[in-house]
Structure 1
Amino acid sequence: MPVTPATPGTPATSTHRQILALAVPAFLALVAEPLFLLGDSAIVGHLGTDQLAGLGVASAALLTAANIYVFLAYGTTALVARRLGAGQESAAVGAGVDGIWLSVVLGAATAIVVAVFAGPICDLFGASAQVADEATIYLRISAFGIPGMLAVLAATGVLRGFQDTRTPLIGATAGFGANLLLNLVLVYPVGMGIAGSALGTVLAQSGLAAGLLIVVLRRAHRLGTSLRPHPGRVLAAARFGMPLLVRTLALRGAMLASTWVATELGDVPLAAHQVAMTVFGFLAFALDALAIAAQAITGHTLGARDVDGTRAATRLMLWWGWWMGVVLGALVAATHTVLPLIFTTDQDVRHALGVALLIVAVGQPVAGLVFVLDGVLIGAGDGTALAWLQVAVLAAYLPLLWLVHVHADSLRAAGAAHALMMLWWAFTGFMVFRLVALGLRARSGRWMVTGV
């Protein structure tokens, strides 16, 4: 649903600049985050196959434990932006401080659980005993970095609410550099092996958290905002975030269910699916940057009781989402025979992946609209509706996956490329379901609640 942008000189031109100023640093910061894992993989990979496989198992568990709390960033951004738009700068920082205290509580509790049960968690993946041992070492040490990871989410949400996406970018860049240096030193000269990689990442994540928290706390001190925890307000922040947690779990459920069906299709479709999903995830960083801009702008305009401004900004951001999706789709389509060469030497996997990437390309304009609408509704604090809608979309998607599952034998017989094609058309249907659900909610206008 592309819309016509305003001509230069109109108020929308400044909104264009505002979107770019927020989205570009946000995109770069989002891309910097996976570099922590890439740095670990590059260093640990030279220790041996068991260590690298163990890192893969531990990282999957660690990222799952941390990513379910992404509402700490999204929810905090919406709360802070709304209060800032209402002219309540001190209250905006106060809402951010509440989110940070919540991240400390959740981070400490999660760290204890992961550290205590690191062994059984790694055993769930069914890896060999040697790989499970290496994974357990990495996960048990990395658990101590979870409070820092969640604090980074909350502090980043505060800064985004103040429409500052540059500070998280600077922090993420410095954190990656520190992570790489610490890992190199601890793994090899110090001789700690995979334990050194885990410790280096914990130190880097904790340092990043400290840096971002200092920025937030300085702002709070300047405004005279209390830093003491207020249990009632912290619980209120938790209640605000719970619907976003449900939404995130429903999204993760769709991804996991897709991977489960891919395993039914055979090794070649599974391998190609993993790479296709990785490419889709990377493209999502660019689109999620627009969603972050949408969260901050929507929260601010609604807090300022500017309904017309909210509508205009939403139309403009949808224009950005649509055309960003078109551009990304065109790039993927143009390189769908080249990208597989980077990831594998297996001709069957290359062929299946090329077919899947074409479908990924077709779905990018839809994904662009979905990400922007998601960001707008999160920025409006419409979490409860988002939770119900995402659960409903998951319920609508599962029958499509079930059809692929029950016809797995015939799809395998038709070839790996055909089997994976059907799975990715089903996943594209999932994105269309999301677009319909979010679009209907956006058109209703019931999410445009103004003021604090």
Structure 2
Amino acid sequence: MPPAAPPSGSGKPGPPYGPPELSVPVATLVPVSENATTTAVSGDRIPPRRVFGLAVPALGVLAAEPLYVLVDTAVVGHLGALRLAGLALGGVVLSQISTQLTFLSYGTTSRTARLHGAGRRSDAVREGVQATWLGVLVGLVLLVAGQLLAEPIARALSGSDEIAAAAVSWLRIALFGAPLILVTMAGNGWMRGVQDATRPLRYVLAGNGISAILCPVLVYGAGLGLEGSAIANVVAQVVSASMFLAALVREKVPLRPDFPVMRAQLGLGRDLVLRSFAFQACFVSAAAVAARTSTEAVGAHQVVLQLWTFLSLVLDSVAIAAQSLVGAALGAGAARQARGVATQITGYGLVLGCFLGVLFAALWSVLPHAFTSDPGVLGEIPHAWWFFVALQPIAGVVFALDGVLLGAGDAAFLRTATLVSAGLGFLPLIWLSLALGWGLSGIWSGLSLFMVFRLAAVVARWRSGRWAVVGAVREA
């Protein structure tokens, strides 16, 4: 199961179109070193092979977890509906760790990429060391809190004593992987920052691959049932996290904790966590409204939303490449190159989004049947499908520019833009659709308005060029 969307120096949450603030905590910018390097070979563009050399392995890392979850679900599914419901509920709770603490990967990439671009690889890796310490410390807190709160949370979410008991039995074991999940996220972050995209893919596939083989052995062969699934999950985290830790040791940098740097990383995390909460509020509200519309509507919403989530992973892989390349260019003092890379990758996002839109428009009468044979659900799917299709080009641009701005350390702007877009677009239309009986059309109109507002915000920020502040991060 899971382990799978930066404050200014003043600390004030600036308006979405306000003055530029370099959102790299403890953000003292220092002159670029004379031996600074950048990844471009000429002009303001990066060779496409270099971009996709980062994006494709990132997609593999993003897709590895959902694929493992499918294997886990298939194995546990044969134990009966109760065990499957327990796995689903426990997995939702555990997934909040990776969902809400993405700053350990995305924020670390931003800080590390600048230092790497400035020719300070050792300092860049030390950012990874501190992110790893932070992951261990936060993970241990979550482990203890999770053990204490697992039962009341499961009961509150399930409404069924039997499902809650099954979820708790799985969750209490799986929570031992929480610190390791965060170590893996930190490892992904610093390696992407130094533009090493291949090792994270190997490490994540190794852990999930071993666990996928071990899961049926423990569940059926050892007779451990649902608890066997949880143990296999922890094994996956142990394997992957151990490989990331070994990679840090091989770098031969100091491994002691540096609390000022960790505080800086937590400051960066504040904005990304708030942004994640905005996404969660929107999508939880959408699910709640769909559930109150009809059984068929919630089923149709789930089908289209899962496709949306999958395609988001595809588009997000381009954004991850943007983070690494833009951060490195700014760290090297090459603002013009960073702007050129931003334009280039935004173009890639638009083309990819258009391609996906055309592809899924052509599949509209075929693909839904792969997910359900229920006539009522199939009848509801078109009310969401065409919004989903039309949004792909917009999503391609938005996700690409999200990556550009995150790479520049401009997460404070992204936080504010996301909160404003959710508050003015998604949430009002979702709940209005419930009051007026608009059903899935209202829900997906809300998502569309949310994406249009985000598009306007990130395009305006991109065109302003105020995000392209050069320099390398120096710890306080």
- Match runs of 1:351-370 below 5 Å: 351-370=379-398
Mark the CA change 1:347 to 1:12 in structure 2 (over 3 Å): closer, same or farther.
Answer: farther
CA distance in 1 between partners of 2:358 and 2:236 (Å): 37
CA distance in 1 between partners of 2:283 and 2:197 (Å): 28
Whether the 8 Å contact between 1:86 and 1:451 is mirrored in structure 2 is: yes
Instruction: Kindly state the Cα deviation for residue 200 of structure 1 after the two structures are TM-superposed.
Output: 0.9
In structure 2, what residue type is equivalent to 1:143?
A: L
CA distance in 1 between partners of 2:206 and 2:67 (Å): 11
Q: Would you say 1:333 and 2:333 are equivalent positions?
A: no
Match of 1:176 in 2: 208
CA distance in 2 between partners of 1:10 and 1:46 (Å): 56
Q: Would you say 1:105 and 2:133 are equivalent positions?
A: no
Q: Would you say 1:64 and 2:93 are equivalent positions?
A: no
Q: Would you say 1:444 and 2:464 are equivalent positions?
A: yes
CA distance in 2 between partners of 1:64 and 1:124 (Å): 16
Match of 1:375 in 2: 403
Q: Would you say 1:426 and 2:446 are equivalent positions?
A: yes
Match of 2:24 in 1: none
> Which deviates more, 239-248 or 376-385?
239-248
Match of 1:263 in 2: 291
Residues 10-48 of structure 1, C-alpha deviations (whole Å, 9 max, x = no match) = 756643121110111111221111122112111111111
- Match runs of 1:287-302 below 5 Å: 287-302=315-330
CA distance in 2 between partners of 1:165 and 1:249 (Å): 28
Whether the 8 Å contact between 1:106 and 1:147 is mirrored in structure 2 is: yes
Match of 1:5 in 2: none
Match of 2:35 in 1: none
In structure 1, what residue type is equivalent to 2:328?
A: H
- Within the candidate set 134, 155, 179, 1:123 is matched to 155
Match of 1:190 in 2: 222
Q: Would you say 1:390 and 2:418 are equivalent positions?
A: yes
Instruction: Kindly state the Cα deviation for residue 117 of structure 1 after the two structures are TM-superposed.
Output: 1.2
Instruction: Kindly state the Cα deviation for residue 355 of structure 1 after the two structures are TM-superposed.
Output: 3.8
CA distance in 2 between partners of 1:311 and 1:270 (Å): 42
CA distance in 1 between partners of 2:249 and 2:358 (Å): 44
CA distance in 1 between partners of 2:42 and 2:365 (Å): 42
- Within the candidate set 236, 253, 258, 2:264 is matched to 236
Mark the CA change 1:14 to 1:310 in structure 2 (over 3 Å): closer, same or farther.
Answer: closer
Instruction: Kindly state the Cα deviation for residue 204 of structure 1 after the two structures are TM-superposed.
Output: 1.2
CA distance in 2 between partners of 1:111 and 1:393 (Å): 33
Whether the 8 Å contact between 1:159 and 1:216 is mirrored in structure 2 is: no
In structure 1, what residue type is equivalent to 2:381?
A: L
- Within the candidate set 78, 82, 97, 2:114 is matched to 82
Whether the 8 Å contact between 1:115 and 1:141 is mirrored in structure 2 is: no
% identical equivalent positions = 38
In structure 2, what residue type is equivalent to 1:233?
A: V
Match of 1:404 in 2: 433
CA distance in 2 between partners of 1:302 and 1:421 (Å): 42
Greater helix share, structure number? 1
| TM-score, scaled relative to structure 2 | 0.88
Where do 5+ consecutive residues of structure 1 fail to align?
1-8, 412-418
SS class of match (2:254): coil
| TM-score, scaled relative to structure 1 | 0.93
CA distance in 2 between partners of 1:36 and 1:108 (Å): 24
Whether the 8 Å contact between 1:158 and 1:216 is mirrored in structure 2 is: no
In structure 2, what residue type is equivalent to 1:362?
A: A
In structure 1, what residue type is equivalent to 2:285?
A: A
In structure 2, what residue type is equivalent to 1:405?
A: L
Whether the 8 Å contact between 2:89 and 2:158 is mirrored in structure 1 is: no
CA distance in 2 between partners of 1:355 and 1:15 (Å): 41
Match of 1:310 in 2: 338
Whether the 8 Å contact between 2:429 and 2:442 is mirrored in structure 1 is: no
Instruction: Kindly state the Cα deviation for residue 66 of structure 1 after the two structures are TM-superposed.
Output: 2.7
In structure 1, what residue type is equivalent to 2:465?
A: G
CA distance in 1 between partners of 2:61 and 2:414 (Å): 25
Residues 384-428 of structure 1, C-alpha deviations (whole Å, 9 max, x = no match) = 1211111111111222223212102xx4xxxxxxx3123212211
CA distance in 1 between partners of 2:265 and 2:408 (Å): 15
> Which deviates more, 109-118 or 291-300?
109-118
Match of 2:51 in 1: 19
CA distance in 1 between partners of 2:139 and 2:42 (Å): 45
Residues 195-250 of structure 1, C-alpha deviations (whole Å, 9 max, x = no match) = 1110111011111111122123312x1xxx21100112211221122111111111
In structure 2, what residue type is equivalent to 1:100?
A: T
Instruction: Kindly state the Cα deviation for residue 156 of structure 1 after the two structures are TM-superposed.
Output: 0.4
Instruction: Kindly state the Cα deviation for residue 187 of structure 1 after the two structures are TM-superposed.
Output: 1.1
Whether the 8 Å contact between 2:116 and 2:331 is mirrored in structure 1 is: yes
Match of 1:148 in 2: 180
Instruction: Kindly state the Cα deviation for residue 81 of structure 1 after the two structures are TM-superposed.
Output: 0.3
RMSD: 1.5
SS class of match (2:240): helix
Where do 5+ consecutive residues of structure 2 fail to align?
1-40
SS class of match (1:61): helix
Residues 113-151 of structure 1, C-alpha deviations (whole Å, 9 max, x = no match) = 112211111112234222211111001111101111111
